[in-house]
């Protein structure tokens, strides 16, 4: 079973480098840094690193390690929360001796020597907690800091236990995690507090949005608009949920204009939208996906496809 194989593989390596996806979220960093914390606590002699570009909005969770290329020689690399190899941050993930994939997204790429993909898990953090539970007899220990990181990822990816991906197991894990000593209000502040300019752009979106007859809403964030509100493309993660409670909405999409691409952030309350994401160079979950297009003309095609799935959808 892959979970046992992962436990034994972790035990057998002295150097372990943990990656996650580009444009990280609390589940990506929480699973990555949570796993590092667990391994370090359990096996203090191992060298464990977390790789990828830092994101200042997630500094409250963990800071990335600077890693030389030669550190990868003979190392075990673990990629957390990333369905496709092209989205692993950074791309040195394949310079190690062995590669493990741990993820809860629908499979896009079968990369890695060992793969553990569980799409029934609410989050990769939920899987990391499972892993630690299974590994208790192998010397794995948990800590307050691991609980903080893992809890952050579960809260982040379930939308505070709101999304349908939240299961009995998610709540059971959460119930155990809150028995550890960490500052929950402070953690929530880190995840949910937003800057004034983001709040103002949220207000703009709520003022301007329109709902089509099919139940689709489309938001176009041009470079000009984001400059006006001084919001960076990475910060738009804090805007994407803003339309979720509008009565009658079935799906919505944010188009975010970057230097040479337009990022597509898709969300749904019913129709599966990940196949549309896959059609436009992306992927993700049925209710939360992302993609990339090159031109505004192409965004019209995405809107047409989304309208169609909304029209076809029967609750």
CB of 60 to ligand AMP, least distance (A): 18
Give the residue closest to ligand AMP by C-beta: 290
Site string for ligand AMP, 269-298 (x = CB under 6 A): -------------xxxx--xxxxx------
Asked if 87 is part of the footprint of ligand AMP (rule: CB under 6 A), the reply reads yes
Three-state secondary-structure class, residue 263 = strand
Distance CA 191, CA 58 (A): 8
CB of 249 to ligand AMP, least distance (A): 16
The site for ligand AMP, by CB under 6 A, has a size of: 19
CB of 40 to ligand AMP, least distance (A): 26
- Of the two residues 102 and 291, which places its CB atom closer to ligand AMP in the complex? 291
Task: List binders of ligand AMP among 216-255 (CB under 6 A).
Answer: 237, 240
Q: Looking up tokens 């606590």, which residue turns up?
A: 41
Measured in Å, how far apart are the chain's first and last C-alpha atoms? 37
- Of the two residues 84 and 167, which places its CB atom closer to ligand AMP in the complex? 84
Distance CA 218, CA 2 (A): 41
CB 176 within 8 A of CB 125: no
CB of 266 to ligand AMP, least distance (A): 7
CA distances 35 to 20, 78, 106, 209, Å, are 11, 10, 21, 40
CB 90 within 8 A of CB 51: yes
- Could you tell me the two tokens for 108? 């896009």
CB of 174 to ligand AMP, least distance (A): 20
Asked if 30 is part of the footprint of ligand AMP (rule: CB under 6 A), the reply reads no
Task: List binders of ligand AMP among 102-141 (CB under 6 A).
Answer: 105
- Could you tell me the two tokens for 16? 């372990």
- Of the two residues 48 and 262, which places its CB atom closer to ligand AMP in the complex? 262
CB of 136 to ligand AMP, least distance (A): 29
Distance CA 102, CA 111 (A): 10
CA distances 81 to 3, 47, 158, 233, Å, are 15, 21, 14, 21
Report phi then psi at 256, rounded to 5.
Answer: -120, 115
Asked if 26 is part of the footprint of ligand AMP (rule: CB under 6 A), the reply reads no
| Site of interaction with ligand AMP (CB under 6 A) | 21, 23, 25, 83-84, 87, 105, 237, 240, 265, 282-285, 288-292
């Amino acid at each position: 079973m892959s979970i046992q194989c992962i436990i034994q593989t972790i035990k057998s390596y002295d150097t372990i480098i943990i990656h996650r996806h580009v444009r990280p979220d609390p589940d990506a960093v929480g699973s990555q840094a949570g796993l590092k914390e667990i391994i370090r606590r359990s096996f203090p002699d191992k060298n464990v690193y977390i790789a990828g570009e830092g994101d200042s909005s997630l500094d409250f969770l963990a800071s990335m390690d600077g890693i030389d290329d030669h550190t990868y020689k003979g190392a075990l690399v673990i990629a957390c929360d990333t369905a496709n190899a092209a989205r692993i941050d950074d791309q040195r993930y394949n310079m190690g001796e062995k590669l493990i994939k741990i993820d809860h997204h629908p499979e896009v790429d079968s990369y890695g020597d060992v793969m553990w993909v569980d799409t029934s898990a609410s989050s990769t953090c939920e899987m990391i907690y499972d892993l630690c539970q299974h590994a208790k007899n192998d010397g794995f220990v948990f800590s307050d800091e691991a609980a903080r990181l893992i809890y952050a990822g579960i809260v982040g990816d379930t939308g505070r236990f709101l999304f349908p991906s939240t299961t009995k197991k998610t709540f059971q894990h959460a119930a155990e995690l809150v028995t550890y000593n960490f500052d929950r209000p402070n953690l929530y502040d880190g995840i949910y507090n937003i800057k004034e300019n983001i709040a103002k752009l949220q207000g703009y979106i709520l003022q301007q949005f329109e709902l089509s007859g099919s139940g689709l809403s489309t938001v176009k964030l041009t470079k000009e608009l984001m400059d006006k509100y001084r919001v960076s493309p990475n910060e738009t993660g804090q805007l994407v949920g803003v339309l979720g409670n509008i009565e009658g909405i079935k799906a919505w999409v944010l188009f975010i204009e970057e230097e040479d691409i337009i990022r597509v952030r898709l969300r749904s309350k019913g129709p599966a939208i990940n196949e549309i994401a896959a059609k436009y160079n992306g992927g993700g979950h049925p209710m939360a996906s992302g993609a990339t297009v090159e031109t505004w003309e192409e965004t019209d095609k995405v809107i047409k496809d989304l309208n169609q799935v909304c029209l076809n959808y029967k609750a």
